[in-house]
Homo-oligomer: A and B are copies of this chain.
Amino acid sequence: MAEFSSADRNSVHVFAPATVANMVCGFDILGFAIEEPGDEVYMRRVDQPGVRLVGITGDDGRLPRETEKNTVSACVLTFLQHIGKTDIGLEIELHKHMPIGSGLGSSAASTVAGLFAVNTLLGNPLSKRELLPFAVQGEALACGHGHADNVAPALLGGITLIRGYAPLDVIALPAPSALHASVVFPHVDVPTRDARQMIRTKVALKDAVTQWGNIAGLVAGLFTADYELIGRSMHDVLIEPTRAILIPEFHEMRRLAMEAGALSFGISGSGPSVFAFTQNRDQATSITNVIQAHLSERGIESNGYVSGINTEGPKEIKK
């Protein structure tokens, strides 16, 4: 192993964050990272060559255990092939701290944690941005489509724009410092594939114009820290009307959030998680509480989170 630099290590423990894709008006192009929840990966160098997934917790046995089929280990393998280090031996443990199918970028957090871990372990041969194509490939394996709107913010942190896919063009957008998110995951089942299939493949041009006016307004609002503009731009006339049908109490949750002073409210990714933007943490806390209390009254369990924009992305957890 003399070919590795002194930055090489024997083991690493990494956290990668959950993400909120779409940001209401920016279907398939916008997303941001939150502080929690997130997934953790432990990775160890071992003498026996090959990548082995030695343990997964928190997935209720739903994720594949085979190295080539699990997105974390599959992406690590592709990474090793790319840098020409397939003779290395690695053991991976994946600890999921958020539910699969929550709409919070569960697979993206796992994949990013794995890639950040292997890159750290090997002395950072690639930059964070250079890891992005590997993470997109992981999404293709996990979701059937190589979207980048969760992996980009999970990997780079902050708020990201996917300008285009051919070639992949990811732009970091500013995150105004007062912006906070209230995030609630109601325990109802909305598989990502079904949520995508419900969406019409044709849309009215006039609705598309409304949507891209809002997207342009949101980007301008982020650059100028104009919270009012951010709020009034975050409307979705195309996707939300369909997806909201799958989320019980959606319109009531919106009403509660907006009455409590939210700037905006909408679906996180393909749902069923929802989120609201506020201008401070206390307000985000109140909104998370009021939505969770309402769901509880209706007999729906949920997880609630309160977060600033996570501008860091993945990070090493040191003991």
Residue among A30, A208, A212 having the largest count of chain B Cβ atoms under 10 Å: A212
User: By the criterion CB–CB under 8 Å, are B161 and A216 in contact?
Assistant: yes
Measured between C-beta atoms, what is the minimum distance from A156 to chain B in Å? 14
Give the CA-CA distance A229 to B30 in the complex, in Å.
17
Measured between C-beta atoms, what is the minimum distance from A13 to chain B in Å? 35
Q: How many copies does the complex hold?
A: 2
| Chain A, range 296-313, C-beta contacts under 8 Å to B | none
Please tell me if A130 contacts chain B, counting CB pairs below 8 Å. Answer: no
Please tell me if A143 contacts chain B, counting CB pairs below 8 Å. Answer: no
Please tell me if A26 contacts chain B, counting CB pairs below 8 Å. Answer: yes
| Chain A, range 163-181, C-beta contacts under 8 Å to B | 163-164, 169, 171, 173
| Chain A, range 188-241, C-beta contacts under 8 Å to B | 199-206, 208-217, 219-220, 223, 229, 232-233, 238
Give the CA-CA distance A173 to B220 in the complex, in Å.
7
Q: Count residues of A near B (Cβ-Cβ below 8 Å).
A: 37
User: By the criterion CB–CB under 8 Å, are A211 and B208 in contact?
Assistant: yes
User: By the criterion CB–CB under 8 Å, are A204 and B202 in contact?
Assistant: yes
Q: In the complex where A201-B205, A202-B204, A220-B223 touch, is A212 in contact with B29 (Cβ < 8 A)?
A: yes
Please tell me if A162 contacts chain B, counting CB pairs below 8 Å. Answer: yes
Give the CA-CA distance A29 to B201 in the complex, in Å.
23
Measured between C-beta atoms, what is the minimum distance from A151 to chain B in Å? 16
8 pairs, CB–CB < 8 Å, chain A vs chain B: A29-B209, A161-B220, A171-B229, A173-B220, A200-B205, A202-B204, A208-B238, A216-B216
9 pairs of A and B residues whose beta carbons are closest in the complex: A163-B217, A223-B223, A212-B212, A208-B208, A219-B219, A29-B213, A202-B202, A212-B215, A163-B213
